[in-house]
Chains A and B, each alone.
Chain A
């Protein structure tokens, strides 16, 4: 185990932000922390990164490196008046690293940024800032990276690119990555394990696919002439354009699909719809 946080609690005056939160992370795996806004994700990350102190609980990071854990909290905070080189130079220097040309090129390449840009960072797009923030977090090769809402504000292409980068860091560099989000889809394909945080408590944990399957109550079926299907009409499906939403009660989704095929319907897709209320334990979304 690379990181173990046990029974972490934190309160601000009478408001209990975290209640006995325990998370365990293994080397080279990607963990997702999902929860509604205000669930306590950022507070937990700040505690893991040592920015704030927990009221109780313990954190153990099994790393021999100079920098056991790195990360980005919310949006990357960089020196806007410095170039990418200037930022990397400052952040390398304060942790005793000499930013050689090789290290600069390597750091930039690792996150897919060009070394040719010499203008100040305030001109960068959010996606580029995220990448540079990640390059800074990766200085001194930490064993674990914490990314708080890293997809927030990124365009779809930026999200895909960051997904790829995170997967690459995890598989090639064996870095443990913990990502938070309040949007389920952002973490579905990325994380090996998911923790669900609701009002300061971990209410669910487990393999991502398993956890999400448990919370699927509706399926979106796409196909041609589905409105003609007797099967769908008999199970009170909701029709919307060329797709239909079904909530299996009397028969399983496999049986529904089987019957549709037997009926001669052309089904092109069946997409599980995660019920956020079920996932978040009936809490606020």
Chain B
């Protein structure tokens, strides 16, 4: 099992698409930073126009913490989409190039092989989120400095710089769990569909629908609390004035359960299926 994981890591390291994934993450980050640099002040002025009549604001609200929060919001769509494309490619490329056949012509257990793919995909996801977080904190504080964070979430919430810092870190940690869910879904879709283009399309549709369903009230308490799409936003809850820890724990725990179920479904399908590419 360890040797399978090591060989998967070796393959990922040697593939150019891994570099594309890393570049895509940094480009998104760069875009947010550049747009914030040129347009950020105007947007904040617009957002706080009414409040400025009644309150006096000290310091600069266009600071590193706000930029990190803006980049954090790429966890809604951009980052999971990139992850789903890259991670599904870990398996679809093996189908396309028929290397899956060559692998399974060796004395390799099918269960161990697919399990190693899932484990490495989860590791890769964590690495990408870590890279995003570290680079974001570093670049944002370096260019924009530190300061209080203003967030619009059911109203304007203000957090002091130190408090914003730990809320942002926790949000990245919680967001990583959501990213793992989407990554595992994409790998399971790759198991089912085999073809790269089909998997990308279905993954993108899944992600879009998941985001849309998050906003829809199902008029059913069970669905509103337990349906998977309602569980992927736990990282946003760190920006309520009072952090609802029990809700965050519950959402993360349930989402982890969905991740496990999705992974088990993928493993069962892969194990049962003939290898015919």
Q: Which of B85-142 contact A (CB under 8 A)?
A: 97-108, 113
B50 at the interface (CB under 8 A from A): no
A67 with B275: CB separation less than 8 A: no
Which of these, B4, B16, B274, contacts A94 with CB under 8 Å?
B4
C-alpha spacing A94/B105, complex, angstroms: 11
A40 at the interface (CB under 8 A from B): no
Among residues of A, the one whose C-beta sits closest to the C-beta of B274 is A52
List 17 additional contacts besides A51-B275, A137-B105; criterion CB under 8 Å: A46-B275, A50-B104, A52-B274, A67-B107, A70-B105, A71-B105, A77-B99, A77-B102, A82-B14, A86-B14, A90-B10, A93-B10, A94-B108, A95-B108, A96-B3, A133-B102, A140-B106
Among residues of A, the one whose C-beta sits closest to the C-beta of B16 is A81
Which of these, B14, B15, B103, B106, contacts A67 with CB under 8 Å?
B106
Chain B residue total in the interface (Cβ 8 A): 25
C-alpha spacing A73/B100, complex, angstroms: 12
A79 with B274: CB separation less than 8 A: no
List 18 contacting pairs A-B, 8 Å CB cutoff, sorted by A.
A46-B276, A70-B106, A73-B105, A74-B98, A76-B102, A77-B97, A77-B99, A77-B102, A79-B11, A86-B14, A89-B7, A89-B10, A91-B103, A93-B7, A94-B108, A95-B107, A96-B3, A137-B105
Minimum CB–CB distance from B43 to chain A (whole Å) comes to 43
B-side contacts of A166, CB under 8 Å: none
C-alpha spacing A86/B10, complex, angstroms: 9
A78 with B99: CB separation less than 8 A: yes
CB-based closest 9 A-B pairs: A77-B98, A52-B274, A51-B275, A93-B7, A95-B106, A77-B102, A67-B107, A90-B7, A93-B3
* Interface-centre pick from A81, A86, A136, A140 (highest chain B CB count, 10 A): A81
Among residues of A, the one whose C-beta sits closest to the C-beta of B15 is A81
Minimum CB–CB distance from A87 to chain B (whole Å) comes to 9
Interface string of A63-105 (1 = CB under 8 A from B): 0001100111111111111100010011101111000000000
A139 at the interface (CB under 8 A from B): yes
C-alpha spacing A74/B106, complex, angstroms: 16
Which of these, A75, A136, A140, contacts B107 with CB under 8 Å?
A140
Chain A interface size, as a band, is 20 to 34
C-alpha spacing A91/B142, complex, angstroms: 45
B198 at the interface (CB under 8 A from A): no
B52 at the interface (CB under 8 A from A): no
List the interface of chain A (C-beta within 8 A of B): 46, 49-53, 66-67, 70-82, 86, 89-91, 93-96, 133, 136-137, 139-140
B-side contacts of A91, CB under 8 Å: 102-103, 106
* Interface-centre pick from A49, A72, A79, A91 (highest chain B CB count, 10 A): A79
C-alpha spacing A66/B3, complex, angstroms: 16
C-alpha spacing A67/B7, complex, angstroms: 19
B102 with A51: CB separation less than 8 A: no
B99 with A51: CB separation less than 8 A: no
A-side contacts of B105, CB under 8 Å: 49, 51, 70-73, 137
A-side contacts of B100, CB under 8 Å: 77
B3 with A94: CB separation less than 8 A: yes
C-alpha spacing A96/B4, complex, angstroms: 9
B99 with A79: CB separation less than 8 A: yes
B107 with A66: CB separation less than 8 A: yes
C-alpha spacing A139/B3, complex, angstroms: 16
C-alpha spacing A21/B70, complex, angstroms: 65
B-side contacts of A70, CB under 8 Å: 105-106
B-side contacts of A53, CB under 8 Å: 274
A-side contacts of B16, CB under 8 Å: 81
Among residues of B, the one whose C-beta sits closest to the C-beta of A97 is B3
B-side contacts of A50, CB under 8 Å: 104
C-alpha spacing A72/B99, complex, angstroms: 11
B-side contacts of A136, CB under 8 Å: 102, 106
C-alpha spacing A49/B102, complex, angstroms: 10
A-side contacts of B14, CB under 8 Å: 79, 81-82, 86
* Interface-centre pick from B4, B7, B101, B107 (highest chain A CB count, 10 A): B107
Minimum CB–CB distance from A252 to chain B (whole Å) comes to 47
B97 with A79: CB separation less than 8 A: yes
B-side contacts of A49, CB under 8 Å: 105
Minimum CB–CB distance from A192 to chain B (whole Å) comes to 24
Query: With A77-B98, A77-B99 in contact, do A51 and B107 touch (Cβ < 8 Å)?
Result: no
B-side contacts of A82, CB under 8 Å: 11, 14
C-alpha spacing A70/B101, complex, angstroms: 11
A51 with B11: CB separation less than 8 A: no
B-side contacts of A77, CB under 8 Å: 97-102
C-alpha spacing A49/B100, complex, angstroms: 13
Which of these, B10, B102, B106, B275, contacts A78 with CB under 8 Å?
B102
Q: Which of B1-44 contact A (CB under 8 A)?
A: 3-4, 6-7, 10-11, 14-16
C-alpha spacing A76/B104, complex, angstroms: 13
Which of these, A52, A67, A73, A80, contacts B97 with CB under 8 Å?
A80
Minimum CB–CB distance from A109 to chain B (whole Å) comes to 21
